[in-house]
Structure 1
Amino acid sequence: MAHDDRRLRVLRAIVQDYVSTNDPVGSKALAARYDLGVSPATIRNDMAVLEEEGYITQPHTSAGRVPTDKGYRFFVDRLSAVKPLSVAERKAIERFLDGAVDLHDVLGRSVRLLAQLTRQVAVVQYPTLSRSAVRHLELVPLAPHRLLMVLITDTGRVEQRVVEVPVETDAETVAELRSLLNAAFAGAKLGEASDTVGDLVDNAPPHLRALVAGVSATLLETLVEPSEDRLVIGGTANLARGSALDFPQTVRPLLEALEEQVVVLRLMAEVGPSTVTVSIGEENEHEALTGASFVSVGYGSGDQALGGLGVVGPTRMDYAGNIAAVRAVARYVGQLLAES
């Protein structure tokens, strides 16, 4: 695109007008509503060039123009500044999330908050277990030959398994085993813990060896093959607010992709902390998302993302506002988990 500031201003005005009104934009409306400093005829010429270069297009049903994926991308890449949330909005985020009692509550509240702030579909990924570390391993006797093993991670995730053991246990033996496991695993990264399991069986005190061997398979399964990553999703009703232009085919494939979760989790795998990623329309490889935009960022502490969160909606969305909301909520969730 020619480095023409005026045309960029025209494109920006078209994007902003279409996002706020949901109506294709004509040159007269632009001239009336935006101080572009030129005549409607000049705006018409600029729009013709923008259309020729693929930044805007004319829907069949209207004399006005709407941005294309390429137009939105150009607009997003040149967002000079993402308007930060107001003090009141930040306080509201803080108040709402501070009331959370555990990880599930933090993520559930984050999804509701994001959906309210952006009026899009909000998605939050549970912290990826492979990046988490063991905070504590709890063992609870259920019967002489049965234990409940509970893994608690430093990100607040809880995984539990019932273990059938080959030898009879009592409270004292279970307490010894608990101490042994926590001495070996507390603080260990889940992704690196599997090697320790074999050493533990080899080096266990003779009277505990059969018991350690009995729990080792479940221990491996809990540490190395944790339950798959999950998403919390909220605000799907917001998809019903759009127009036929937003989703020319149907909203159903997008809802199915959200429900299956795999598509969104794959996108989440690429997010890092602090840098918000925006993928627009056809840039999304999965065809269910080709009519949608996905604004996402990683949450966590430091340079390590524990998981991702974001919003999904039509390409006709308030990018600046959504980027600000996603970034603010992610920052706060990261702080909460670091303190927990």
Structure 2
Amino acid sequence: MTLKTTDKNIAGFSERSKRILGAIVKDYILTAEPVGSKAIATRYLLDLSPATIRNIMAELESSGFLTSPHTSAGRIPTEKSFRFYIDSLLELEEPLDNDKNMLRRCSEANTGIENAFERATKALSTLTSCAGLAFMPGKDNFTIKHIRLLPIDRETVMVLIMSRLGMVKTRRVRIDVNGLNLEKTSNYLNSVGSGLTLRSLRAKIALEMKIEKNLYDEILSNAFKLSRMALGDDNDDSVKDLFVEGHMKMIEQPEFRDDLARLKEIFAAFEEKNLLIKILDKSIEEEGVHVFMGSQSSIEQFSGLSFVTAPCGRGKDIFGTLGVIGPVRMNYSKILPLVSYTAGLLSGSF
């Protein structure tokens, strides 16, 4: 698990305290209601008295793991509790066969990578009762296998970028083809770009243009011009490669059902695609499933929410990330394996 808790209070926890904290988190995930000592004693820890549980709950509250709502005698686990629960107490559930079959159908390669991502996102939303998310960070993270330059007419070149994973991106570039040696430019791009990401290729060409002062200047100039126009950063493309499905699931969550103002904040954040991309981008740099809680960002709209994400790809060739967003009180035991399984399917299909 990527998310690690570093709070020193945890090291001194007794096993009994851990059992009680785990039971409180489980009950709150199930009921979305403040948890009392009597409920813990009767539902989970029959060997402990309500008085003993109540005393330990008081210790947990003083350490910042529980909080007391004014309207209830019970306790609510804080984000700190959920972090500890995920890192140290979580028991993962194997996805059901029906759920696996549904995800396999959505992730088939013959549907195309964009369609597979979109379908998998919808399936995750359905299976988790959270909003599903997927992000393909575009061309910059593709590792180049081959580049082809095809003249369309006197003013247009088609650039075909093939990745090592077999994916192809195309871009029409308007440029004066007359006098442009496409073969030499293509050969140069492939000689220096094979095995690099497109971001690295652009940087390398820019550096060589500063260094080289010989007859290759023209080729370098053409290569840089084409790379800037065809392979450059494009915020619009990034937004197009973001999939959000099932955001109306938030209305069904008890935390937000009667809080119209909070729902408006969340939906407004969903409309700000770059906010979601900012968080999903972090997942690309992580290995395996990553749990990112909203308070870890400076984005106020995501407080009280959790992202569960996983990168898709093989080795260093990462072509996207997917996951879900929902309340911090989400069923991590079920959701983490589902996200991991889906990411594995997509990674193996493309």
Q: Is the 8 A contact 2:305 2:326 kept in 1?
A: yes
Partner of 1:327: 340
**Are residue 164 (structure 1) and residue 172 (structure 2) matched?**
no
Q: Which amino acid aligns with 2:228?
A: L
Match of 2:88 in 1: 78
Which of 237, 251, 260 aligns to 2:263? It is 251
Q: 1:302 aligns with which of 311, 315, 328?
A: 315
For residues 183-209 of structure 1, the C-alpha deviation after alignment (integer angstroms, 9 at most, x for no partner) is: 55565531332345968x9559xxxx7
Secondary structure class of the residue paired with 1:113: helix
Structure 2 equivalent of residue 189 of structure 1: 197
1:125/1:307 contact within 8 Å kept: yes
Partner of 2:246: 235
1:37 Cα deviation after fit? 1.1
The answer to whether the Cα contact below 8 Å between 1:123 and 1:309 also exists between their aligned partners in 2 is yes
Supply the distance in 1 between the matched residues of 2:132 and 2:244 (Cα, whole angstroms): 6
The reply to whether residue 263 of structure 1 matches residue 283 of structure 2 is no
Q: Taking CA–CA contacts closer than 8 Å with sequence separation of 6 or more, which of the two structures ends up with the larger relative contact order?
A: 2
CA contact (8 A) 2:131 2:325 kept: yes
Residues 251 and 257 of structure 2 are in contact (CA less than 8 Å); yes or no, is this contact kept in structure 1?
no
- The CA deviation at 1:226 is 4.9
Task: Give distance in 1, aligned partners of 2:316 and 2:189.
Answer: 27
Question: d(CA) in 2 for partners of 1:101 and 1:202?
Answer: 46
Query: Contact 2:143 / 2:317 at 8 angstroms: preserved in 1?
Result: no
Judge which range, 219-228 or 94-103, deviates more: 219-228
Name the residue aligned to 1:311: 324
Give the count of matched residue pairs: 327
CA distance in 1, matches of 2:63, 2:164: 51
The code of the aligned residue for 2:161 comes to L
SS in 2 for 1:296: strand
* Counterpart pick for 1:59 among 65, 69, 93: 69
Which residues of 2 match residues 1-340 of structure 1 at below 5 A? 1=9, 2-98=12-108, 100-137=110-147, 139=149, 141-155=151-165, 156=167, 158-165=169-176, 167=178, 180=187, 184=191, 188-194=196-202, 195=204, 202=215, 217-226=225-234, 228-229=237-238, 230-244=241-255, 250-271=262-283, 272-337=285-350
Give distance in 2, aligned partners of 1:281 and 1:216.
40
Gaps of 5+ in 2: 1-8
- Give the Cα–Cα distance (whole angstroms) in 2 for the partners of residues 250 and 37 of structure 1: 40
Deviations 1:296-323 (A, max 9, x none): 2222112554332221111111122221
Distance 1:100 1:16 in 2: 40
Contact map agreement 2:38 2:50 (CA 8 A) in 1: yes
- Give the counterpart letter for 1:219 in structure 2: S
Residue 89 and residue 95 in structure 1: after superposition, are their counterparts in 2 closer, same or farther (change >3 A)? same
Percent same amino acid among aligned pairs? 27
Q: Which runs of 5+ in 1 are unaligned?
A: none
TM-score by length of 2: 0.79
Q: CA 1:213–1:77 in 2, change beyond 3 Å: closer, same or farther?
A: closer
**Separation in 2 of the partners of 1:202 and 1:111?**
51
* Alignment RMSD: 3.3
Partner secondary structure for residue 251 of structure 1: helix
